[in-house]
Amino acid sequence: MTLSWQTILAVGCGGFLGAIARVYLNFTITKMLPHEFPFGILTVNVLGSFLIGILFAIFIHYNINESLKSFLSAGFLGALTTYSTFAIESFFLLQTSFFLGVSNMAFNLFGSILAAGSGYKLIFYFIK
């Protein structure tokens, strides 16, 4: 992938649509399944991971325009959920190295939870 103005524009347009899709899906699913468990976010994360798996399989087998790849993967699915990128990277790492795949999963899962909690606590401490 080259970082041309077309690529940047494709990612931006895809991101715009992906963000709207995320809000809409999350709202709709949360309304359909009101519960303290975040079914809406889980749905967008799992759906995004499923879709990026499909796209990467297509990208490997077909010659797809780089701008379209960027629009769909980094743009649309990146805004729908960054979880999709994490999922496909972990999948590929597990195929080559179990250790690297599991390490990537553990660091992403626990690192992001720790970072989110730290950020929350830091700001909460100063707002108090």
* CA 78/CA 115 separation, integer angstroms: 20
> In this predicted model, what pLDDT tens digit does every residue of 79-118 receive, in sequence order?
998 788 789 889 999 999 999 999 989 998 998 899 888 9
SS3 4: coil
Q: At what angle do helices 39-61 and 5-32 cross, to 10 degrees?
A: 140
Within 13 Å of residue 25, how many CA atoms lie on the same side as its CB? 20
pTM, to two decimals? 0.79
Domain ranges of the chain: 5-82
- What are 22-77's pLDDT values in tens digits? 999 999 999 999 988 889 988 998 999 899 999 999 998 899 999 999 999 999 99
Question: Hey, how many other C-beta atoms are within 10 angstroms of the C-beta on 43?
Answer: 17
